[in-house]
Amino acid sequence: MTLHSKSWTLKPGAMTLADLRAVWAAPARLILAAEAYPVIEASAAAVQAIVAKGDAAYGINTGFGLLAKTRIPDEKLEQLQRNLILSHSVGTGELLSDAVVRLIMLMKIGSLARGFSGVRPLIVDTLIALYNAGIMPAIPAKGSVGASGDLAPLSHMTLAILGVGDVRVNGELMAAPQALAQAGIAPVVLAAKEGLALINGTQVSNALALHGLFMAERLLEAAMVTGALSLDAAKGSDAPFDARVHAVRGQPGQILAAQMYRQLVAHSAIRASHLEGDERVQDPYSLRCQPQVMGACLDLLGNAGRTLLIEANAVTDNPLIFQDGPNGQAEIVSGGNFHAEPVAFAADTLALAIAEIGALAERRIALLIDATLSGLPPFLVRDPGVNSGFMIAHVTAAALASENKSLAHPASVDSLPTSANQEDHVSMATFAGRRLDDMAHNTAVIVGIELLAAAQGIDFHRPLKTSPHLEHVHQQLRQKVPFFDADRFFAPDIEAAKQMVLRGELSSTCKSLFAPLYA
């Protein structure tokens, strides 16, 4: 089993995006704040009181969905909860990554620990034990419509604490009973309400959207670096980044983006070489309007991040237990917090940003390979004709940019009624979040190709150097990919550049420059 030297304390309802980003990036040992336990215990006691009283309460002693009017005898309540999990474990498709599953488990633990869900501390502690042991439930990616909770994928998560099905440990599939036994974790028997509390909620949709957000952050940083590199490769002007231009418009993301571009290209000898005598009056939009486009993307990421952080700390199962009912008694209230419309909208806006980051980068690649626009050798290679150079690498970028246009179609505008029309409007948030990974990988390839093309352009300007920031990026690339002096097997170069983008290597030495993105 995997234990982690780093640990942090979860205070339910108080997670930050930095916390979530860290959990997404790497495992860490989780400790639940001690003050959470009394409210969890009080909520569980309230459920037991309702059972003892005998009044019908949805999800506690009734059926589910359209079967809510079916009263379940007390002696069958444990069976009811187990059957709920087994019958709802109907997911399909590839398994969600460990990074996404960590986020799902963390947010479910945090939600249950706020004390409105009626589960025993045992349930929360067992989830924490799995998390800390590196036992990741095997959760298929498909099968949720993002309303009434992410029922199918969260059921697959819950199977693990029952000791049913498969889990993943250190990247390898293992039977859940074996993994739990090796970690010394006893499977649980669910009590009243617990199964429903575990599978109701937006944690899967939100985890997928957060994954998309964190990928988009890396893409934004990388594309700003490659865009600045392309500017110098094409001997473009830094005048459009003048702070006064952006101040009079007032868009905050644009102002911040322009500031970053000014810092990225500062002290470039290539820029200094054509400050005077340059006959060009204005650069094409893909160079000149970078602050306007990337700034708008930055604002979208910020807006989405705020929504997803609220959701990460939220209680989204149903029904909920409130301790402030009539006469000071606990009250169970049925609502609809499981409807993931806020997440769907956030994911759809992230899709727009990811698509536009790639679309703008593709246009800069097209500019660089066109000698009439860039002033560089055709297709960025010596002896063009014999060599095709970057001709077809640009075609790949164009294909992926076009694919992203289709994937960016909003998922939130779709709805198919389920559960015999009881659940008659759904959010499709799970797909809205899930498709962001494909889009991010597409854009990472596009930005990676731009990195290769822009670095090639910089090499054609030697012995002149670009800015200190960009020279370092150029050197990083050249340690992995040599100058393209003649046609060669190109796919490995593109993959190496893509991985630099995905790992955040293009901004690794100038993190302070990008720090305002996360303020």
User: What is the phi/psi pair of residue 119, to 5°?
Assistant: -100, 155
Burial class (CB in 10 A: 0-12, 13-18, 19+), 202: buried
Query: pLDDT band at residue 66, thresholds of 50, 70 and 90?
Result: low
**SS3 for 173?**
strand
Half-sphere exposure at residue 225, Cβ-oriented, CA atoms within 13 angstroms: 35
Beta-carbon count within 10 A of 254 CB: 23
377 prior amide bond cis, ω within 30: no
Question: What pLDDT was estimated at residue 6?
Answer: 79
Q: Which residues pair with 368 in a beta bridge?
A: none
Alpha carbon separation from 285 to 194, 231, 292 (Å, rounded): 56, 11, 10
Question: What pLDDT was estimated at residue 3?
Answer: 42
Query: pLDDT band at residue 77, thresholds of 50, 70 and 90?
Result: confident
Of the listed ranges 6-15, 60-69, 97-106, 359-368, the one predicted with least confidence: 60-69
**SS3 for 15?**
coil
Q: What gap in Å lies between CA 485 and CA 359, rounded to an integer?
A: 27
Q: Which residues pair with 332 in a beta bridge?
A: 321
Query: pLDDT band at residue 471, thresholds of 50, 70 and 90?
Result: very high
Task: Using alpha carbons only, give the angle 213, 139, 119 rounded to the nearest 5 degrees.
Answer: 95
Res 250 pLDDT > 70? yes
Question: What pLDDT was estimated at residue 414?
Answer: 84
Beta-carbon count within 10 A of 15 CB: 17
Query: pLDDT band at residue 65, thresholds of 50, 70 and 90?
Result: low
Q: In sequence order, which residues have a C-beta less than 8 Å from that of residue 443 and are 6 or more positions away?
A: 219, 223, 354, 355, 357, 358, 361, 400, 404
**SS3 for 163?**
coil
Q: If we measure between CA atoms, which residue out of 122, 121, 131 comes closest to residue 30?
A: 131
Q: What gap in Å lies between CA 268 and CA 512, rounded to an integer?
A: 19
Q: What share of the chain is helix, strand, coil (3-state, %, to 5)?
A: 60, 5, 35
The DSSP bridge pattern shows strands 7-10 and 29-32 to be parallel
Q: Which amino acid is located at 423 in the chain?
A: E
Q: If we measure between CA atoms, which residue out of 319, 325, 338, 332 comes closest to residue 59?
A: 319
What distance lies between CA 120 and its chain's CA centroid? 30
Q: What gap in Å lies between CA 453 and CA 473, rounded to an integer?
A: 13
Question: What pLDDT was estimated at residue 326?
Answer: 81
Q: What gap in Å lies between CA 139 and CA 153, rounded to an integer?
A: 6
Contact 194, 81 (CB under 8 A): yes
**SS3 for 166?**
strand
**SS3 for 280?**
coil
Mean of the pLDDT values across residues 266-281? 84
Per-chain mean pLDDT for the chain: 93
Active site residues: 58
Alpha carbon separation from 17 to 296, 311, 440 (Å, rounded): 20, 11, 19
**SS3 for 461?**
coil
Query: pLDDT band at residue 68, thresholds of 50, 70 and 90?
Result: low
User: What is the phi/psi pair of residue 51, to 5°?
Assistant: -60, -45
